[in-house]
Amino acid sequence: MEIAAADTKSLLAPDTITAWQCIGCGRLEAPANCVGICQDRKVELVSSWDYAEALVALDGANERVATLEAFLSKLAHTTPRADAWKNSYVAL
């Protein structure tokens, strides 16, 4: 599955919140103005550093996929001459 350029750009600037994290237990706290309807729920968060590393890895993978697709497209659309198919096969 390939991510379009527009989708990649939106991934580069995620919405973030500023919070305090305990260096011992990892508890997160982000105080905000309560409007009286708060409920605590379990959430999973990713650090911005890990997120940035994942984006770099994704960009690299997309580049490799594009290179391989170009090679395979060229290979798939190449037809050897009728008398030279064996040489083409051996060369491949």
Residue 1 pLDDT exceeds 60: no
The whole model's pTM is what?
A: 0.53
pLDDT tens digits for 31-71?
777 777 777 777 788 888 888 888 999 999 999 999 999 99
3 and 62 Cβ atoms separated by less than 8 Å: yes
58 and 65 Cβ atoms separated by less than 8 Å: no
Backbone angles phi, psi at 38, to 5 degrees: -70, 140
